[in-house]
Structure 1
Protein backbone atom coordinates (compact mmCIF):
# COMPACT_ATOMS: atom_id res chain seq x y z
CA UNK A 1 0.00 0.00 0.00
CA UNK A 2 1.19 3.49 -0.84
CA UNK A 3 2.61 5.33 2.16
CA UNK A 4 0.21 8.12 3.00
CA UNK A 5 1.21 11.72 3.54
CA UNK A 6 0.12 12.90 6.99
CA UNK A 7 -1.55 15.98 5.52
CA UNK A 8 -5.34 15.70 5.27
CA UNK A 9 -6.76 16.60 1.87
CA UNK A 10 -10.37 16.37 3.07
CA UNK A 11 -11.91 16.50 6.54
CA UNK A 12 -15.42 16.47 7.96
CA UNK A 13 -15.53 18.04 11.41
CA UNK A 14 -18.70 17.55 13.47
CA UNK A 15 -20.87 17.84 10.37
CA UNK A 16 -24.65 17.85 10.74
CA UNK A 17 -27.06 17.92 7.83
CA UNK A 18 -30.81 17.46 7.52
CA UNK A 19 -33.45 17.81 4.86
CA UNK A 20 -36.76 19.53 5.49
CA UNK A 21 -40.17 18.39 4.32
CA UNK A 22 -43.77 18.92 5.35
CA UNK A 23 -43.29 16.59 8.31
CA UNK A 24 -40.24 18.42 9.64
CA UNK A 25 -36.52 17.76 9.64
CA UNK A 26 -35.03 14.51 8.32
CA UNK A 27 -31.51 14.02 9.75
CA UNK A 28 -28.98 12.55 7.30
CA UNK A 29 -25.63 13.30 9.00
CA UNK A 30 -25.16 13.79 12.75
CA UNK A 31 -21.84 14.98 14.17
CA UNK A 32 -19.93 13.15 11.42
CA UNK A 33 -16.13 13.17 11.48
CA UNK A 34 -13.74 11.60 8.99
CA UNK A 35 -10.50 12.40 7.20
CA UNK A 36 -8.93 11.44 3.85
CA UNK A 37 -5.17 11.77 3.53
CA UNK A 38 -3.44 13.57 0.68
CA UNK A 39 -2.87 11.05 -2.12
CA UNK A 40 -5.23 8.44 -0.67
CA UNK A 41 -7.88 6.46 -2.56
CA UNK A 42 -10.96 5.90 -0.40
CA UNK A 43 -14.25 4.30 -1.45
CA UNK A 44 -17.65 4.74 0.19
CA UNK A 45 -20.13 1.86 0.11
CA UNK A 46 -23.61 1.63 1.57
CA UNK A 47 -27.19 0.78 0.76
CA UNK A 48 -29.14 2.93 -1.71
CA UNK A 49 -30.46 6.05 -0.03
CA UNK A 50 -27.99 5.80 2.85
CA UNK A 51 -26.49 9.24 2.18
CA UNK A 52 -23.43 8.56 0.02
CA UNK A 53 -24.28 11.12 -2.64
CA UNK A 54 -25.35 13.61 0.03
CA UNK A 55 -21.77 13.57 1.35
CA UNK A 56 -20.57 14.48 -2.15
CA UNK A 57 -23.16 17.22 -2.53
CA UNK A 58 -21.99 18.76 0.73
CA UNK A 59 -18.34 18.63 -0.35
CA UNK A 60 -19.09 20.20 -3.73
CA UNK A 61 -21.29 22.85 -2.13
CA UNK A 62 -24.59 21.79 -3.74
CA UNK A 63 -26.05 21.45 -0.23
CA UNK A 64 -25.41 23.67 2.81
CA UNK A 65 -24.23 22.20 6.11
CA UNK A 66 -26.57 22.47 9.05
CA UNK A 67 -23.52 22.77 11.33
CA UNK A 68 -19.86 21.78 11.49
CA UNK A 69 -17.18 22.36 8.88
CA UNK A 70 -15.56 20.78 5.83
CA UNK A 71 -11.82 21.33 5.33
CA UNK A 72 -9.86 21.09 2.10
CA UNK A 73 -6.09 20.71 2.56
CA UNK A 74 -6.54 21.46 6.27
CA UNK A 75 -8.36 24.76 5.75
CA UNK A 76 -12.05 25.25 6.48
CA UNK A 77 -13.75 26.32 3.24
CA UNK A 78 -17.26 27.77 3.20
CA UNK A 79 -17.61 28.13 -0.56
CA UNK A 80 -16.35 24.88 -2.08
CA UNK A 81 -17.95 25.34 -5.50
CA UNK A 82 -15.30 24.71 -8.15
CA UNK A 83 -12.64 23.82 -5.57
CA UNK A 84 -12.93 20.05 -6.01
CA UNK A 85 -13.11 17.92 -9.13
CA UNK A 86 -16.44 16.10 -9.47
CA UNK A 87 -17.28 13.23 -11.81
CA UNK A 88 -20.95 12.15 -11.59
CA UNK A 89 -22.42 8.77 -12.47
CA UNK A 90 -23.56 10.08 -15.86
CA UNK A 91 -20.77 11.73 -17.86
CA UNK A 92 -22.94 14.82 -18.57
CA UNK A 93 -20.90 15.70 -21.65
CA UNK A 94 -22.45 18.46 -23.71
CA UNK A 95 -23.55 16.88 -27.01
CA UNK A 96 -22.93 20.07 -29.03
CA UNK A 97 -19.30 20.37 -27.86
CA UNK A 98 -16.33 18.36 -29.10
CA UNK A 99 -14.16 16.20 -26.84
CA UNK A 100 -11.62 19.00 -26.49
CA UNK A 101 -14.31 21.59 -25.79
CA UNK A 102 -15.98 19.38 -23.18
CA UNK A 103 -12.70 18.69 -21.43
CA UNK A 104 -11.74 22.36 -21.38
CA UNK A 105 -14.96 23.51 -19.71
CA UNK A 106 -13.42 23.94 -16.20
CA UNK A 107 -10.70 26.15 -17.65
CA UNK A 108 -13.30 28.30 -19.37
CA UNK A 109 -15.28 28.67 -16.16
CA UNK A 110 -12.11 29.75 -14.34
CA UNK A 111 -11.33 32.12 -17.22
CA UNK A 112 -8.08 30.32 -17.96
CA UNK A 113 -8.74 29.99 -21.67
CA UNK A 114 -5.09 30.60 -22.46
CA UNK A 115 -4.41 27.12 -21.08
CA UNK A 116 -7.10 25.37 -23.10
CA UNK A 117 -5.38 24.22 -26.25
CA UNK A 118 -1.92 23.29 -24.95
CA UNK A 119 -3.03 21.79 -21.63
CA UNK A 120 -5.98 19.84 -22.99
CA UNK A 121 -4.04 18.59 -26.04
CA UNK A 122 -1.30 17.12 -23.83
CA UNK A 123 -3.80 15.54 -21.46
CA UNK A 124 -5.93 14.12 -24.26
CA UNK A 125 -2.94 12.12 -25.41
CA UNK A 126 -2.14 11.01 -21.85
CA UNK A 127 -5.75 9.87 -21.41
CA UNK A 128 -5.70 7.82 -24.61
CA UNK A 129 -7.91 10.26 -26.53
CA UNK A 130 -5.44 11.49 -29.13
CA UNK A 131 -7.14 11.71 -32.51
CA UNK A 132 -10.58 12.17 -30.94
CA UNK A 133 -10.20 15.87 -30.13
CA UNK A 134 -12.85 16.95 -32.64
CA UNK A 135 -15.25 14.07 -32.13
CA UNK A 136 -18.61 14.60 -30.45
CA UNK A 137 -19.87 12.56 -27.46
CA UNK A 138 -22.25 10.45 -29.57
CA UNK A 139 -19.24 9.23 -31.58
CA UNK A 140 -17.48 7.81 -28.50
CA UNK A 141 -17.77 4.53 -26.61
CA UNK A 142 -18.95 4.53 -23.01
CA UNK A 143 -15.43 4.06 -21.70
CA UNK A 144 -14.08 6.92 -23.79
CA UNK A 145 -16.87 9.23 -22.62
CA UNK A 146 -15.91 8.44 -19.03
CA UNK A 147 -12.28 9.27 -19.81
CA UNK A 148 -13.36 12.70 -21.07
CA UNK A 149 -15.47 13.18 -17.95
CA UNK A 150 -12.53 12.24 -15.71
CA UNK A 151 -10.21 14.55 -17.63
CA UNK A 152 -12.70 17.38 -17.14
CA UNK A 153 -12.71 16.66 -13.38
CA UNK A 154 -8.91 16.74 -13.19
CA UNK A 155 -8.83 20.08 -15.00
CA UNK A 156 -10.64 21.61 -12.04
CA UNK A 157 -7.12 22.05 -10.68
CA UNK A 158 -8.02 20.46 -7.35
CA UNK A 159 -6.03 17.67 -5.72
CA UNK A 160 -9.35 16.24 -4.44
CA UNK A 161 -11.50 14.31 -6.92
CA UNK A 162 -14.99 12.98 -6.19
CA UNK A 163 -16.12 10.08 -8.37
CA UNK A 164 -19.76 9.04 -7.99
CA UNK A 165 -20.24 5.51 -9.40
CA UNK A 166 -18.49 6.50 -12.65
CA UNK A 167 -18.38 2.99 -14.12
CA UNK A 168 -21.78 1.63 -13.08
CA UNK A 169 -23.31 1.96 -16.55
CA UNK A 170 -20.45 0.21 -18.38
CA UNK A 171 -20.40 -3.42 -19.48
CA UNK A 172 -18.38 -5.84 -17.34
CA UNK A 173 -15.26 -5.99 -19.52
CA UNK A 174 -15.10 -2.23 -20.09
CA UNK A 175 -15.60 -1.66 -16.37
CA UNK A 176 -12.60 -3.84 -15.46
CA UNK A 177 -10.45 -2.05 -18.02
CA UNK A 178 -11.52 1.37 -16.76
CA UNK A 179 -10.75 0.41 -13.15
CA UNK A 180 -7.17 -0.46 -14.13
CA UNK A 181 -6.91 2.71 -16.21
CA UNK A 182 -8.16 4.84 -13.30
CA UNK A 183 -5.50 3.43 -10.98
CA UNK A 184 -2.82 4.26 -13.55
CA UNK A 185 -4.05 7.87 -13.78
CA UNK A 186 -4.29 8.19 -10.00
CA UNK A 187 -0.74 6.93 -9.55
CA UNK A 188 0.57 9.39 -12.13
CA UNK A 189 -1.35 12.41 -10.85
CA UNK A 190 -0.91 11.70 -7.12
CA UNK A 191 -4.43 13.00 -6.56
CA UNK A 192 -6.79 12.24 -3.67
CA UNK A 193 -9.88 10.28 -4.68
CA UNK A 194 -13.14 9.71 -2.85
CA UNK A 195 -15.12 7.11 -4.80
CA UNK A 196 -18.75 6.01 -4.39
CA UNK A 197 -19.67 2.50 -5.51
CA UNK A 198 -22.18 -0.28 -4.87
CA UNK A 199 -19.65 -2.83 -6.16
CA UNK A 200 -17.69 -4.34 -3.26
CA UNK A 201 -15.12 -5.96 -5.58
CA UNK A 202 -14.54 -2.59 -7.24
CA UNK A 203 -14.01 -0.92 -3.85
CA UNK A 204 -11.54 -3.61 -2.78
CA UNK A 205 -9.56 -3.42 -6.02
CA UNK A 206 -9.25 0.36 -6.10
CA UNK A 207 -9.04 1.53 -2.52
CA UNK A 208 -6.56 2.04 0.29
CA UNK A 209 -9.49 2.22 2.71
CA UNK A 210 -13.23 1.66 2.47
CA UNK A 211 -15.79 3.70 4.40
CA UNK A 212 -18.91 1.64 5.11
CA UNK A 213 -22.20 3.39 5.89
CA UNK A 214 -23.98 1.18 8.39
CA UNK A 215 -26.77 3.45 9.60
CA UNK A 216 -28.90 6.47 8.76
CA UNK A 217 -28.59 9.13 9.97
CA UNK A 218 -24.84 8.73 9.53
CA UNK A 219 -23.03 9.30 12.83
CA UNK A 220 -19.82 7.46 11.91
CA UNK A 221 -18.24 5.59 9.02
CA UNK A 222 -16.87 2.11 9.59
CA UNK A 223 -13.31 2.07 8.19
CA UNK A 224 -11.75 -0.97 6.53
CA UNK A 225 -8.11 -1.21 5.45
CA UNK A 226 -7.75 -3.09 2.17
CA UNK A 227 -5.13 -5.85 2.64
CA UNK A 228 -3.51 -5.42 -0.79
CA UNK A 229 -0.19 -3.90 -1.80
CA UNK A 230 0.24 -1.76 -4.89
CA UNK A 231 0.47 -2.11 -7.84
CA UNK A 232 -2.51 -4.45 -8.11
CA UNK A 233 -3.99 -6.89 -10.57
CA UNK A 234 -7.56 -8.11 -10.83
CA UNK A 235 -6.31 -11.57 -9.81
CA UNK A 236 -5.37 -10.16 -6.41
CA UNK A 237 -9.07 -10.17 -5.52
CA UNK A 238 -8.85 -13.98 -5.37
CA UNK A 239 -6.48 -13.88 -2.39
CA UNK A 240 -7.91 -15.59 0.68
CA UNK A 241 -7.91 -12.55 2.96
CA UNK A 242 -9.60 -10.42 0.30
CA UNK A 243 -12.23 -13.06 -0.46
CA UNK A 244 -13.03 -13.38 3.24
CA UNK A 245 -13.34 -9.61 3.59
CA UNK A 246 -15.63 -9.43 0.55
CA UNK A 247 -17.87 -12.18 1.91
CA UNK A 248 -18.08 -10.45 5.29
CA UNK A 249 -19.13 -7.19 3.64
CA UNK A 250 -21.70 -8.96 1.47
CA UNK A 251 -23.15 -10.62 4.56
CA UNK A 252 -23.42 -7.27 6.35
CA UNK A 253 -25.44 -5.77 3.51
CA UNK A 254 -27.53 -8.92 3.03
CA UNK A 255 -28.80 -8.62 6.61
CA UNK A 256 -29.89 -5.02 5.92
CA UNK A 257 -31.93 -5.73 2.81
Structure 2
Protein backbone atom coordinates (compact mmCIF):
# COMPACT_ATOMS: atom_id res chain seq x y z
CA UNK A 1 0.00 0.00 0.00
CA UNK A 2 1.19 3.52 -0.82
CA UNK A 3 -0.13 5.88 1.85
CA UNK A 4 -0.18 9.66 2.14
CA UNK A 5 -1.38 11.07 5.45
CA UNK A 6 -1.92 14.51 6.96
CA UNK A 7 -1.69 16.34 3.63
CA UNK A 8 -2.02 20.12 3.93
CA UNK A 9 -1.89 22.10 0.68
CA UNK A 10 -2.40 25.79 0.02
CA UNK A 11 -2.86 27.18 -3.49
CA UNK A 12 -2.68 30.96 -3.95
CA UNK A 13 -3.42 31.43 -0.23
CA UNK A 14 -6.46 29.16 -0.46
CA UNK A 15 -6.40 26.05 1.69
CA UNK A 16 -7.22 23.14 -0.63
CA UNK A 17 -6.39 20.17 1.60
CA UNK A 18 -6.35 19.98 5.39
CA UNK A 19 -5.22 16.86 7.29
CA UNK A 20 -6.09 14.84 4.19
CA UNK A 21 -5.20 11.17 3.66
CA UNK A 22 -5.29 8.93 0.59
CA UNK A 23 -3.88 5.49 -0.26
CA UNK A 24 -3.27 3.32 -3.31
CA UNK A 25 -2.71 -0.41 -3.56
CA UNK A 26 0.55 -1.37 -5.23
CA UNK A 27 0.33 -2.87 -8.73
CA UNK A 28 -3.18 -1.53 -9.29
CA UNK A 29 -4.85 0.98 -11.62
CA UNK A 30 -6.47 3.78 -9.61
CA UNK A 31 -8.63 6.57 -11.01
CA UNK A 32 -9.18 9.85 -9.17
CA UNK A 33 -12.43 11.64 -9.97
CA UNK A 34 -14.16 14.73 -8.65
CA UNK A 35 -15.67 18.02 -9.75
CA UNK A 36 -13.54 20.60 -11.55
CA UNK A 37 -11.70 22.84 -9.11
CA UNK A 38 -11.61 20.30 -6.29
CA UNK A 39 -7.80 20.18 -6.54
CA UNK A 40 -7.12 16.84 -8.26
CA UNK A 41 -4.15 18.09 -10.32
CA UNK A 42 -2.67 19.84 -7.29
CA UNK A 43 -3.02 16.62 -5.32
CA UNK A 44 -1.23 14.39 -7.82
CA UNK A 45 1.59 16.95 -8.19
CA UNK A 46 2.03 16.72 -4.42
CA UNK A 47 1.98 12.91 -4.60
CA UNK A 48 4.53 12.91 -7.44
CA UNK A 49 6.89 15.21 -5.51
CA UNK A 50 6.63 13.05 -2.38
CA UNK A 51 7.35 9.88 -4.34
CA UNK A 52 10.38 11.45 -6.00
CA UNK A 53 11.71 12.57 -2.60
CA UNK A 54 11.47 8.93 -1.50
CA UNK A 55 13.54 7.87 -4.51
CA UNK A 56 10.69 6.24 -6.43
CA UNK A 57 10.90 6.02 -10.21
CA UNK A 58 7.82 7.85 -11.53
CA UNK A 59 6.52 8.20 -15.08
CA UNK A 60 4.32 11.28 -15.52
CA UNK A 61 1.82 12.26 -18.21
CA UNK A 62 0.74 15.90 -17.88
CA UNK A 63 -2.28 17.54 -19.54
CA UNK A 64 0.08 19.75 -21.56
CA UNK A 65 2.64 18.20 -23.92
CA UNK A 66 5.92 19.56 -22.47
CA UNK A 67 7.71 18.53 -25.67
CA UNK A 68 10.92 20.39 -26.54
CA UNK A 69 9.89 22.46 -29.59
CA UNK A 70 13.27 22.41 -31.38
CA UNK A 71 13.62 18.61 -31.16
CA UNK A 72 11.74 16.19 -33.40
CA UNK A 73 9.63 13.33 -32.05
CA UNK A 74 12.53 10.87 -32.07
CA UNK A 75 14.85 13.24 -30.15
CA UNK A 76 12.12 14.08 -27.62
CA UNK A 77 11.59 10.40 -26.89
CA UNK A 78 15.27 9.53 -27.00
CA UNK A 79 15.98 11.90 -24.10
CA UNK A 80 14.41 9.56 -21.54
CA UNK A 81 16.36 6.45 -22.63
CA UNK A 82 19.57 7.92 -24.06
CA UNK A 83 21.72 6.78 -21.15
CA UNK A 84 20.02 3.38 -20.81
CA UNK A 85 20.44 1.73 -24.21
CA UNK A 86 22.70 1.56 -27.22
CA UNK A 87 21.52 3.46 -30.30
CA UNK A 88 20.17 0.40 -32.11
CA UNK A 89 18.14 -0.58 -29.04
CA UNK A 90 16.88 2.99 -28.65
CA UNK A 91 15.67 2.91 -32.26
CA UNK A 92 13.88 -0.39 -31.66
CA UNK A 93 12.11 0.73 -28.47
CA UNK A 94 11.07 4.10 -29.91
CA UNK A 95 9.71 2.47 -33.05
CA UNK A 96 7.82 -0.10 -30.97
CA UNK A 97 6.22 2.40 -28.60
CA UNK A 98 5.18 4.68 -31.47
CA UNK A 99 3.58 1.72 -33.21
CA UNK A 100 1.63 0.92 -30.03
CA UNK A 101 0.45 4.55 -29.95
CA UNK A 102 -0.62 4.29 -33.63
CA UNK A 103 2.02 6.87 -34.60
CA UNK A 104 4.12 4.91 -37.08
CA UNK A 105 6.62 6.89 -39.13
CA UNK A 106 6.39 10.30 -37.43
CA UNK A 107 9.84 10.25 -35.81
CA UNK A 108 11.15 13.17 -37.90
CA UNK A 109 8.19 15.53 -37.24
CA UNK A 110 8.51 18.48 -34.87
CA UNK A 111 5.96 19.38 -32.17
CA UNK A 112 4.47 22.27 -34.19
CA UNK A 113 3.61 19.76 -36.94
CA UNK A 114 1.54 17.56 -34.62
CA UNK A 115 -2.12 17.69 -33.63
CA UNK A 116 -3.09 17.90 -29.97
CA UNK A 117 -4.07 14.23 -29.93
CA UNK A 118 -0.74 13.20 -31.46
CA UNK A 119 1.17 15.20 -28.84
CA UNK A 120 -0.80 13.51 -26.09
CA UNK A 121 0.02 10.06 -27.47
CA UNK A 122 3.70 11.04 -27.54
CA UNK A 123 3.38 12.07 -23.88
CA UNK A 124 2.13 8.57 -23.11
CA UNK A 125 4.89 7.02 -25.26
CA UNK A 126 7.54 9.00 -23.36
CA UNK A 127 6.17 7.82 -20.00
CA UNK A 128 6.27 4.20 -21.18
CA UNK A 129 9.86 4.54 -22.41
CA UNK A 130 10.90 6.02 -19.05
CA UNK A 131 9.31 2.92 -17.51
CA UNK A 132 8.61 4.16 -14.00
CA UNK A 133 7.43 1.81 -11.29
CA UNK A 134 4.60 4.27 -10.64
CA UNK A 135 2.65 6.08 -13.37
CA UNK A 136 0.88 9.37 -12.63
CA UNK A 137 -1.35 10.55 -15.47
CA UNK A 138 -3.48 13.71 -15.60
CA UNK A 139 -6.31 13.35 -18.15
CA UNK A 140 -4.06 11.22 -20.41
CA UNK A 141 -6.73 10.46 -23.02
CA UNK A 142 -7.98 14.03 -23.41
CA UNK A 143 -8.23 15.01 -27.08
CA UNK A 144 -7.94 11.47 -28.44
CA UNK A 145 -10.45 10.23 -30.98
CA UNK A 146 -12.55 7.17 -30.10
CA UNK A 147 -10.47 4.70 -32.14
CA UNK A 148 -7.09 5.73 -30.72
CA UNK A 149 -8.44 6.06 -27.21
CA UNK A 150 -9.82 2.52 -27.21
CA UNK A 151 -6.64 1.11 -28.79
CA UNK A 152 -4.34 2.82 -26.27
CA UNK A 153 -6.47 1.93 -23.23
CA UNK A 154 -6.39 -1.72 -24.36
CA UNK A 155 -2.61 -1.58 -24.75
CA UNK A 156 -1.98 0.24 -21.45
CA UNK A 157 -4.21 -2.04 -19.41
CA UNK A 158 -2.22 -5.05 -20.63
CA UNK A 159 1.12 -3.24 -20.21
CA UNK A 160 0.40 -2.10 -16.64
CA UNK A 161 -0.74 -5.56 -15.52
CA UNK A 162 2.16 -7.43 -17.13
CA UNK A 163 4.75 -4.98 -15.77
CA UNK A 164 3.04 -4.73 -12.36
CA UNK A 165 2.85 -0.95 -12.32
CA UNK A 166 1.05 1.18 -9.78
CA UNK A 167 -1.06 3.69 -11.71
CA UNK A 168 -2.84 6.88 -10.62
CA UNK A 169 -5.01 8.55 -13.27
CA UNK A 170 -7.15 11.68 -13.10
CA UNK A 171 -10.22 11.47 -15.32
CA UNK A 172 -13.68 12.97 -15.76
CA UNK A 173 -14.85 10.11 -18.00
CA UNK A 174 -16.74 7.34 -16.19
CA UNK A 175 -16.41 5.12 -19.28
CA UNK A 176 -12.61 5.18 -18.93
CA UNK A 177 -13.03 4.10 -15.33
CA UNK A 178 -15.36 1.23 -16.24
CA UNK A 179 -13.00 -0.04 -18.95
CA UNK A 180 -9.75 0.41 -17.10
CA UNK A 181 -9.79 0.87 -13.33
CA UNK A 182 -9.24 -1.57 -10.48
CA UNK A 183 -10.50 1.13 -8.15
CA UNK A 184 -11.74 4.66 -8.47
CA UNK A 185 -11.47 7.32 -5.83
CA UNK A 186 -14.02 10.10 -5.63
CA UNK A 187 -12.85 13.31 -3.96
CA UNK A 188 -15.62 15.46 -2.52
CA UNK A 189 -15.17 19.09 -1.51
CA UNK A 190 -16.43 19.99 1.95
CA UNK A 191 -14.91 22.59 1.08
CA UNK A 192 -11.49 22.23 2.73
CA UNK A 193 -11.65 18.86 4.45
CA UNK A 194 -11.98 16.51 1.52
CA UNK A 195 -13.80 13.22 1.71
CA UNK A 196 -12.38 10.21 -0.15
CA UNK A 197 -14.69 7.48 -1.36
CA UNK A 198 -13.00 4.23 -2.43
CA UNK A 199 -15.11 2.24 -4.87
CA UNK A 200 -13.97 -1.18 -6.11
Q: How far apart are residue 150 of structure 1 and its match? A: 1.5
Q: Which residue pairs with 2:175 in the alignment?
A: 201
Partner residue, 1:134: 108
Question: RMSD in angstroms over aligned alpha carbons?
Answer: 2.6
Cα–Cα, structure 1 residues 188 and 93, in superposed 2: closer, same or farther, change >3 Å? farther
TM-score normalised to the size of structure 1?
Answer: 0.65
- CA distance in structure 1 between the aligned counterparts of 2:165 and 2:58, rounded to whole angstroms: 11
Q: 1:122 to 1:52 in 2, by over 3 A?
A: same
Which structure has more RCO (C-alpha within 8 Å, separation ≥ 6)? 2
* Cα deviation code 1:87-123 (max 9, x no counterpart): 0112232232122211123346xxx2x5363453232
Structure 1 residues 223-242: aligned runs within 5 Å: 223-225=198-200
Pair 1:221-2:186 in alignment: no
Structure 2 unmatched runs, 5+: none
- Give unpaired runs (5+ residues) of structure 1: 1-7, 62-69, 226-257
* Alpha-carbon distance, 1:183 to partner: 1.8
Distance 1:29 1:96, change over 3 A: same
**Count of aligned pairs:** 195
1:101 paired to 2:75 = yes
Question: Against the structure 1 CA distance between its residues 164 and 11, is the aligned structure 2 distance closer, same or farther, given a 3 Å change threshold?
Answer: same
Conservation of the 8 A alpha-carbon contact between 1:143 and 1:178? no
SS at match of 1:96: coil
User: Aligned runs of 1:84-163 on 2, under 5 Å?
Assistant: 84-107=58-81, 112=83, 115=85, 117-127=87-97, 128=99, 129=103, 131-140=105-114, 142-163=116-137
1:60 to 48, 69, 85: 48
* Bigger Rg, structure 1 or 2: 1
Which among 21, 28, 37 is matched to residue 33 of structure 1?
21
Match of 2:142 in 1: 168
Query: Corresponding residue for 1:15?
Result: 7
Q: CA deviation at 1:156?
A: 3.6
